[in-house]
Structure 1
Amino acid sequence: MNANKLILAGLPMIAVTYGLSRFSYGLMLPYINEAINMTQSTSGIISSLSYVAYCIAIVAAMVFSRTVASRLILVTAGALSVVGLGVISVSLTPVGLGAGIFLAGMSTGLSSPPYASIVNTNVESNRQNQANAWINSGTSIGTAFTGVVAIMMVDSWRATYVIFMIIAVMVLAANYKVLPRTQAYGEKSPTGFVKQEWRQSVQLILASLLLGGSSAAYWTFSRDFIVNLASVPAYLGDWFWVIIGLAGLLGGTAGIFINRFGIMKAFRMSVVTLSTASLLLGGWPGNSIVGILSPFLFGSSYVFITGVLIVWGVSVFRTNPSIGLGLPFLVLALGQAVGSVVSGILAGLFGYHMLFLAAAMIGYVSLVFQYKTRQHFSRAYYS
């Protein structure tokens, strides 16, 4: 399958499942709270449902990656996205909202691993890093789009979710038509080699966990923080999510950067940038320059770091690329699930300032972890 054709199918699906179905909640939260009055703790718990659903779905995607066609898994992801967005649009209570968020979150977990398998079996090896990174950058497209639609629709969040649902139907139809109907499965590798891969994944797992916890606060509460600051111009609150999304397009260069400079340099650069975004927001939230710089740093580095985690994981789990992509994303989501709940509690107790400063410190700690793998892996991955 042509790499560009796969990117054109995969990127919008990731945009729908991640940007529209999952991360739009943080954008819409101020408007949703006007209709469904919730405490910060309740908002955090509902946000965590998306990550819990994501974890369940991504485990299922990894488990069935060798027995169920990737195309079928992706069609299921698209269908769950459509249903979840529809339920959110008609929710009248936190329970109904939580159900919609949960279903939409499942679509996200099912959408990423299958693309890794399709790329591995249908794209030439020298283009796989770039293909995975560009498909992953759909997150930024979806995030920017949600921001633009929210500005145009003002506070009509229900109508906004109906629009998202219609787009999800269109993207689902396109993927159903474009994705390969047949799938080749790799040969089963020796047990010892698979165990070696799991041992090599420990630092990847720990880094993903901390980064998930660090980023959860930003995804859930950053815009709610900004729009309620009297010292920040109203236009910054309106365009905050758009800045995150547009900056995320830089994340599509992760594969190119890794091929040239190695995984560790890419990892360290993106971790420092991601954590600094939270540090700036917590330390100087009333500064207009920070109001632009912080979401720019966060958007570009979040998509970039997820691209790094994809390449890191796939390079470790050579015997099963779906696990290589799914495992770090699963652990990232576990960190975000816990982080969302804890963030809501911390915000209620100490305020948003301390929340974002704490999130930054957690992110910086992840710099202690190192990329290590077997010597026979491609030199393109070495730091």
Structure 2
Amino acid sequence: MTNPSSTKFAVLGAALIAISYGLARFAFGLFVPPIRDDLGLRPAQIGMISALPLISFIFATVIASLIADRMGARITAIISGLFGTVGLGVISQASGAFSLGIGVVFCGICTGLMMPALTAAMQAIVNRALHGRVSSVMNAGTSIGVVVAVPVVLMFESAWRMAYLSFAVIAGIGVLAAWRMLPSVSPVTPTDAAPAPPISRLQWARLLRLSLFAFAMGFVSAAYWIFAPDLVITLGELPADATGWLWFAVGLAGLGGAIAADLADRNNPPITHSLMLMMLAASMALIAASPNNLLLTVFSALVFGLAYMSLTGLYLMTGIRLLPGRLSLGPVLPFLAVSLGQAVGSPVLGLLIEQTGYANAFSLFASISIVVAIISPLYPRQLEQEWDEEVIEDTGLQAAYDHQLHDDEGEPYRGIEIEEKTKTAEAERIDEN
């Protein structure tokens, strides 16, 4: 086995994220209508089953860094892929709620283990100067996976068992790729980097606020991820293949989420956070108001995809900045909060749909999103230090990673090779003058 270049690693990481997040996690909502009909499940049961992979995802994420440290990046990714392969295969053969639940639980474990494994590998073989860019490419894999699921839906239409069987085969190929290309080492911290400072009370308070906002966003977004396809088919009476265009729009718009998140970090995060939550609310209100209009529902999906991916990217950068030097904690807690919010939101929405109907349930969740948007001025600032011109210019995902390690003088750690190149360039500049 030879370590891949940074570019090949970014592509491989995006592909594995596409499998573990796009196919094993978010594609489930696409197949809710045929699964519900074939297995005779009620909306409340669908909501409960949809919460199971989110719970297993949280559990897997909590122990993922420990597994990566003990077993290494390659073994952790292989374990993740095997859970995904088995889970997708079990879903394809599900005969009722119980077997379906087992399959989605395995898929949740797959999702929770994959990103920590890839982060461990990235720290070992990718130059620190490229961590932010590589992370952006890998994060886009979620949208790519969602888009890949669309032709499968259009090809098999209501044959969801065949679709999930094909996903299992793809996941198996991903396992082979991880075994062939990922390193077996654990995360590497440079020996000349200063240890991370202790977490202050102010940092914990800001991280708590960030997690609460992430929980609220996850809670309201569960409505779209799980029940939007079912809404347009049940309430809007659109054909089954129309759901494929919904997810295509979500994935396509989600690819722009990384850019929007970076712009948010460069400008005013609280205001952008509020704007994206309002877009989230608008997407749910629009699809609830016009479920029979394919053009409007696709536009709604575009708005939702851009808003959701932008918000998750913003939470990632904020978490990294809030706890410099603690990659296993800062960005992990808000993502756990998003998943916990979705795990709570799915069964709640399922019960609301049974009691009040799709339109009223979606409208209520849209209203909650608006309320959270109104209190977004409480969204935490990313940096502990005072804002000055130098700090304001040093923004974006790459800058967030650059500030993860510091040297003994408290300056951002850039590595010996980069420091030597910088000093050489400065010396040459002085000589020229």
| TM-score using structure 2 length | 0.81
| AA at the equivalent of 1:239 | W
Aligned partner of 2:385 in structure 1 is 375
- In structure 2, the residue matched to 1:157 is 160
- What letter corresponds to residue 78 of structure 1 in structure 2? G
Residue type of the alignment partner of 2:47: G
**1:56 matched to 2:59:** yes
Q: Counterpart of 2:384 in 1: which secondary structure?
A: coil
Q: Counterpart of 1:285?
A: 291
Structure 1 match to 2:336: 330
2:410 aligned partner: none
Tell me if structure 1 keeps the 8 A contact 2:157–2:241. Answer: no
1:103 to partner: Cα distance? 0.5
Q: Please show how residues 2-81 of structure 1 align to structure 2 within 5 Å.
A: 2-64=5-67, 66-81=69-84
Q: Which runs of 5+ in 1 are unaligned?
A: none
Maintained 8 Å contact 2:123/2:187? no
Shift of 1:200: 2.8
Q: Using the alignment, how far apart are the partners of 2:307 and 2:152 within structure 1?
A: 23
Q: Percent identity?
A: 30
Which is bigger in relative contact order (C-alpha 8 A, separation at least 6)? 1
TM-score (norm 1): 0.91
What residue in structure 2 maps to residue 176 of structure 1?
Answer: 179
Q: Does 1:113 align with 2:116?
A: yes
Contact 1:70 1:118 in 2 (8 A): yes
The 2-side partners of 1:76 and 1:47 are apart by 22
1:147 corresponds to:
150
The separation in 2 between residues aligned to 1:188 and 1:102, in whole angstroms, is 39
1:243 aligns with 2:249: yes
Letter in 1 for 2:133: Q
Q: Deviations over 1:99-132 (max 9, x none)?
A: 0011011111111233344445554455433322
Cα drift, residue 60 of structure 1: 1.1
Q: CA deviation at 1:241?
A: 1.8
Q: Partner letter of residue 374 of structure 1? A: E
Contact 1:208 1:331 in 2 (8 A): yes
Give 2:141's aligned residue: 138
Q: 1:216-365, aligned counterparts within 5 Å?
A: 216-230=222-236, 232=238, 236-254=242-260, 256-258=262-264, 260-261=266-267, 263-264=269-270, 266-365=272-371
The AA in structure 2 aligned to 1:347 is I
Change (3 A) 1:158 1:201: same
Point out 4+ residue stretches in structure 1 off by more than 6 angstroms.
none
Q: Secondary structure at the match of 2:255?
A: helix
> Once the 2 structures are TM-superposed, how far is the Cα of residue 351 of structure 1 from its aligned partner?
0.8
Q: More deviation in 317-326 or 283-292?
A: 283-292
Q: Secondary structure of the residue that 2:199 maps to in structure 1? A: helix
Structure 1: which amino acid aligns with 2:64?
A: A
Deviation at 1:62, TM superposition (A): 3.9
State how many pairs are aligned: 383
Structure having the higher helix fraction is: 1
Whole-Å separation in 2 of the counterparts to 1:173 and 1:288: 39
Residue aligning to 1:92: 95
CA distance 1:238–1:255, change in 2 (3 Å) = closer
- The whole-number CA distance in structure 1 between the counterparts of 2:132 and 2:270 is 15
Q: Deviations over 1:240-269 (max 9, x none)?
A: 222222222212324643564364454344
What's the CA shift for 1:325? 2.5
- What's the CA shift string for 1:188-215, capped at 9, x where partnerless? 8466336654333111101110001010
| Unaligned ranges ≥5, structure 2 | 397-433
**Secondary structure of the residue that 1:323 maps to in structure 2?**
coil
Question: Cα distance 1:166–1:233, how it changes in 2: closer, same or farther (>3 A)?
Answer: closer
Letter in 2 for 1:297: V
Would the alpha carbon gap of residues 363 and 120 (structure 1) be closer, same or farther in structure 2, given more than 3 Å must change?
Answer: farther
**CA RMSD across the alignment:** 2.6
- For the pair shown, the structure with the greater C-alpha radius of gyration is 2
Instruction: Judge conservation of contact 1:21–1:85 (CA < 8 Å) in 2.
Output: yes
Distance change (3 Å), C-alpha of 1:307 and 1:133 = farther
Q: 1:192 to 1:234 in 2, by over 3 A?
A: closer
Distance 1:64 1:199 in 2: 28
The structure-2 alpha-carbon separation of the partners of 1:212 and 1:256, relative to structure 1 and needing over 3 Å to count, comes to closer
Q: Distance in 1 between matches of 2:280 and 2:261?
A: 18
